[in-house]
Amino acid sequence: MVSFPFEGFKFRASVKIPALWMSYGLALVLLSVLLVMGCQRPTPVPTPTPTPTPIPSPTAVPTSTPTSAPAPSPTSTLAPVPTPTSTLVVESRLATTAFNYVKELSQGLGSRQSLTSEEREAADYLTSQFKGMDYSVRQQPFTVEMVTLEGSGLTLDKPTPETLQAVPLFRSTPGEASGILTPVGLAREGDIPEAGLKGRIALIQRGIITFEEKVKRASAAGALGAVIYNNETGGFLGAFANTSPIPAVSISREDGEKIKELIAKGDVEATIVVKTEKGPSQNVIAEKPGSGDKVVVLGGHYDTVPNVPGANDNASGTAVLLTLAQELSQRSLPFTLRFIAFGAEELGLWGSKSYVDSLTTEEHRRIVAMLNFDALGTGNGLLVAGASELIDQIVTEGNRQRIRVQRSRGLEGGGSDHENFASVGIPVIFFFSDDLSRIHSPNDTIEFVSPRLLGEAATLALAALGYLARR
């Protein structure tokens, strides 16, 4: 999961540059920015435990390894599970299969940091798994242009030269901009000076609206660059859903207030520099043709932030993806199933962006829904967000099967790979869970992953596919 453009929703964020992790105390920053897709999302459902970083009793870890489930007889559609008893049996089987995949991904493969050989090894593992289920499989390579701390920064040039600690926002356009710093509040429509910002650098407070909206408005007014200061103590990491029109960096609230005090005494000139570097990643795409021309995409990212096992974020979602692929490999459906394991999600949803950008008009037309699975393995229950019609079906089915699932409050999309599909009008369903307290940390281990949640997510996904098949 990644931090993105919806303000106030503390979701996870990550940067792929070791220097940043070291110099910015990123482990702490990430926990403070969690749940921020720029990734600043709307307010999440609070973690059900009372402490800031709850440590529940570890879940028992099964010792078995992934096994192939018996292939069910082909059916024309996914019929609803007929009885509560059979539901529990199927859910238990799905839970065991998914949990064993989590074990293989988080312990067997371990950290799957974006743009590394470990990420590539994970892609090859997934390719092998899908091929073993008789899917048509390919890898889709793409290039990531990522911001880097080296060479990037913010310098106050006048009245007194000073270098401040600044972090480029993900997907900031690279370049250098110099000008007079001009405060524009939250950069809402009424906050921009009537005289505009031509030749200036906008000083913007974080909050309320997306980073993208803030910076686009400043750029349209003539700003050459943007400095966004935090609305709470300390610094933060942020990202744009799309490449920004001008260079943009983030700074701490303290430095933002300091600059405002200097501006009150006279003009303050500054220079922003944003540097980027490129690296390779890949999506893994597995497909099973259906009887009709429509397509349903099921996706989840397989990469992690550096030096973490990523059991919940996102071995859990990848495991459910593999479990569903195994469960559906012998079923006949009226639409093509397309499973996509996305790379480089933690750097700003690059894999899903690359895939969506590659779609032709006809390919886009054929996709009727996208189901995304990300960080759904810890906590007490599942949350779903996305298209209202699909969410209603999932919540209804959850109630029928006594699965704890809730519609996410205020979250229409963002923070994970479904956002790029939603942005082009494809209906999405986003599955995640109600405890994200350990993501992007060394504590994101299998001991805290619940097999029950994995099985329930897979069960509800099958129900959603059944609804789509009958629609």
d(CA 328, CA 13): 33
Phi, psi for 294 (deg, rounded to 5):
-80, 160
Q: What is the largest CA-CA distance in the chain?
A: 77
- pLDDT number for residue 158: 93
* Contact (Cβ atoms closer than 8 angstroms) between residue 215 and residue 248: yes
> What pTM value is reported for the model?
0.74
d(CA 233, CA 253): 6
pLDDT, tens digit (0-9, with 9 covering 90-100), for 272-306: 999 999 999 999 999 999 999 999 999 999 999 99
* Contact (Cβ atoms closer than 8 angstroms) between residue 375 and residue 313: yes
Q: What angle do CA 407, 92, 87 make, to 5 degrees?
A: 70
- Residue spans of alpha helices (H) in 286-385: 317-328, 350-358, 361-366
Name the active-site residue from 345, 346, 419, 456: 345
Phi, psi for 400 (deg, rounded to 5):
-65, -40
At residue 409, does pLDDT exceed 50? yes
Residue 231, preceding peptide bond in cis (omega within 30° of 0): no
Q: Which of 17-21, 171-175, 233-237, 241-245 has the lowest mean pLDDT?
A: 17-21
At residue 73, does pLDDT exceed 90? no
192 or 11: which carries more pLDDT confidence?
Answer: 192
When pLDDT is cut at 50, 70 and 90, the band that residue 348 belongs to is: confident
**Arithmetic mean of pLDDT over the chain:** 84
The two beta strands, 295-301 and 248-251, are unpaired
Listed in sequence order, the residues at least 6 apart from 153 whose beta carbon sits closer than 8 Å to its beta carbon are: 163, 164, 165, 166, 249, 272, 273
At residue 408, does pLDDT exceed 80? yes
- pLDDT number for residue 388: 87
Which single residue is written with the structure tokens 């699909």? 390
Question: Catalytic annotation on 232?
Answer: no
Q: At what angle do helices 451-470 and 388-400 cross, to 10 degrees?
A: 120
At residue 57, does pLDDT exceed 50? no
* Contact (Cβ atoms closer than 8 angstroms) between residue 155 and residue 271: yes
At residue 69, does pLDDT exceed 50? no
